[in-house]
Amino acid sequence: MNEITIRDAGTADIPALHGLIESAYRGEASRAGWTTEADLLDGQRTDPDDLADILADPKQDLLTAWRGDDLVGCVLIADRGEGTGYFGMLSISPTLQGGGLGRRLVDAAHRAMAERYGATRVRISVFPQRETLIAWYQRLGYRLTGDTLPFPYGNPRFGLPKRDDLYFVVMERELD
Ligand SMILES: CC(C)(COP(=O)(O)OP(=O)(O)OC[C@H]1O[C@@H](n2cnc3c(N)ncnc32)[C@H](O)[C@@H]1OP(=O)(O)O)[C@@H](O)C(=O)NCCC(=O)NCCS
């Protein structure tokens, strides 16, 4: 893979971000990767207004990974206060997955949350059905906390669930 550059997203990146995130999480395109939400949800993962809201929020940032002019990865980071960071929307182009880019973006997210938010721990939320993804996060140092969060049923902004029993399990790790 050519050299990868990681930088903060700007509003001009929203169309590319939207395309990347949808391709990683939803629909047939996402099945080219090794893990996807396509079996759990239809509809959208995000939309341009949602991404603009994130970029306008001082407590959230979107890091992007570029190979030349091509957006190949992104991750949302957020300051949840009291030394706690959160990351989500972690997306790598489906055809480039499995090459170490996801791990690299998670490392960049950890560094940015420590530097920008003073984070000493990170929490993430994952669908419990995604066992291979949970196993990967465990290899990245995350443990299941036992906490759960409800899925926001009734809000198509988060997608169209294919089942009525969705919820999230919360995982956490300390930052070095
Ligand atoms: C999750 C995601 C960001 C990972 O990106 P990636 O570039 O594939 O990540 P990496 O290449 O760094 O690591 C992939 C890991 O999965 C493992 N893996 C690869 N193929 C796999 C498979 N078929 N089954 C299980 N694990 C697999 C690799 O061994 C590697 O593990 P390691 O880091 O312990 O060696 C990417 O798959 C993605 O965008 N998925 C869709 C969106 C998503 O689900 N995001 C996370 C939701 S919270």
Among 23, 35, 87, the mutation site with the greatest number of ligand 1 atoms within 8 A of its Cβ is 35
Tell me which residues have their CB closer than 6 angstroms to ligand 1: 24-25, 33-36, 88, 90-92, 97-103, 126, 132-133, 136, 139
Question: Which residues are registered as beta bridge partners of 91?
Answer: 74
Closest CA to 16 of 57, 79, 56, 68: 68
Residue 99: which residues within 8 A CB-CB, separation 6 or more?
A: 1
- Provide the pLDDT confidence category of residue 176 given band limits of 50, 70 and 90: confident
- How high is the mean pLDDT of the chain? 97
Other beta carbons within 10 Å of 167:
12
Relative to beta strand 121-126, strand 84-92 is parallel
Domain boundaries, the chain: 4-174
Is the overall model pTM greater than 0.85, yes or no?
yes
Of all protein residues, the one whose alpha carbon is nearest to atom 27 of ligand 1 is: 34
Helices (H), the chain: 14-25, 27-30, 48-56, 101-117, 131-139
Q: Which pLDDT tens digit goes with each residue over 70-115?
A: 999 999 999 999 999 999 999 999 999 999 999 999 999 999 999 9
In CATH, the number for domain 4-174 is 3.40.630.30
For atom 15 of ligand 1, the residue with the nearest CA is: 98
pLDDT given for residue 148 in this prediction = 98
Residue 1, pLDDT above cutoff 80 = no
